[in-house]
């Protein structure tokens, strides 16, 4: 324990690697959100291409992260040997890891909005875009945030693999600890990654709780909106 405390107090690169890890983790998750959210909204609202989209998303879940990272490393080394190591293989792996939970949760959240709510809106003359924007999206928001939380936490945890392809981050301490057989370095890196994942989980949980009461207030104050019988 004393060696671990000493490592934390004497290692000057922790802030730098922490920032690098945040960059490695959150940029792919944000990119996945930008892609997966509109796709999930469309297939959930229009009920089109559901089988193809969900099958591809579930396929992405089935492929191990390290396998995606290895494949991305080979591809980027072939495309650009100078830039094949580091950020881009890690970005590709974490991007494909983050898409499925956001896409699936968005699709399910929109699809499972109470049909009576949607029909009532149509009866009031709401066009499809307004139904999606003002009814389906707000009611599906908690489940969408849950998908975002899953993607973000997975991305933070899996970004440690990036250190093995030159991307550094907090995984660099784990890699160094394995290579030098230093238990304090290995444990210190693992603790930092775990704390970052817990912090990400906590922040996204706060966002999720903030979304839920807001939706309940909207439902109570709007005469043309109804609470869904079940989100899932």
pLDDT in tens, 4-23: 888 888 888 999 999 999 99
Residue-range domain boundaries for the chain: 2-60+98-221
C-alpha to C-alpha distances, 53 to 15, 40, 49, 228, nearest whole angstrom: 39, 8, 6, 24
* Structure token pair of residue 154: 């997975």
* CA gap 109, 43 in Å, rounded: 11
**Residue-wise pLDDT tens digits, 54-106:** 888 777 777 777 788 888 888 877 776 666 677 888 898 899 999 999 999 99
Residue labelled with tokens 């392809």: 165
The string of pLDDT tens digits covering residues 23-35 is: 999 999 999 999 9
Per CATH, which fold does 2-60+98-221 belong to? MetI-like fold (1.10.3720)
Q: What is the pLDDT of residue 217?
A: 43
pLDDT, averaged across the chain: 84
In degrees and rounded to multiples of 5, residue 222 shows phi and psi of -105, 120
Residues 6+ apart with CB under 8 A from 140: 44, 106, 109, 110, 112, 113, 231
Sign for the CA dihedral angle at 51, 54, 58, 59 comes to positive
The count of C-alpha atoms lying within 13 angstroms of the C-alpha of 180, restricted to the half-sphere facing its C-beta, is 12
More confident position, 1 or 232: 1
Q: How many residues does the chain have?
A: 232
pTM over 0.85: no
**Per-residue pLDDT tens for 201-228?**
999 999 988 887 444 444 443 434 333 3
Q: Two tokens at 120?
A: 């009532």
Segment 100-113 shows an average pLDDT of 92
Phi-psi region of 125 (alpha: psi -120 to 50; beta: other; left: phi over 0): left
Q: Which residues contact 105 (CB under 8 A, 6 or more apart)?
A: 40, 143, 144, 146, 147, 150
């Amino acid at each position: 324990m004393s060696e671990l405390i000493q490592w934390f107090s004497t290692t000057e690169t922790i802030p730098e690697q922490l920032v690098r890890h945040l960059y490695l983790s959150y940029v792919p998750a944000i990119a996945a959100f930008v892609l997966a959210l509109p796709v999930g909204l469309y297939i959930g609202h229009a009920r089109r291409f559901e089988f193809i989209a969900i099958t591809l998303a579930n396929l992405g879940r089935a492929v191990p992260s390290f396998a995606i990272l290895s494949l991305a490393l080979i591809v980027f080394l072939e495309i650009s040997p100078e830039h094949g190591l580091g950020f881009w293989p890690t970005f590709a792996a974490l991007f494909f890891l983050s898409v499925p939970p956001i896409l699936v949760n968005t699709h399910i959240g929109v699809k499972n909005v109470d049909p009576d709510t949607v029909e009532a809106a149509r009866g009031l003359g709401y066009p499809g875009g307004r139904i999606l924007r003002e009814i389906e999206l707000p009611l599906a928001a908690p489940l969408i945030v849950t998908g975002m939380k899953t993607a973000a936490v997975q991305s933070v945890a899996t970004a440690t693999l990036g250190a093995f392809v030159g991307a550094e981050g907090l995984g660099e301490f784990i890699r160094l600890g394995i290579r030098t057989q230093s238990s304090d370095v290995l444990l210190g890196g693992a603790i930092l990654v775990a704390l970052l994942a817990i912090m990400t989980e906590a922040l996204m949980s706060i966002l999720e709780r903030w979304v839920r009461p807001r939706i309940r207030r909207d439902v109570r104050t709007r005469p043309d909106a109804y609470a869904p019988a079940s989100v899932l």
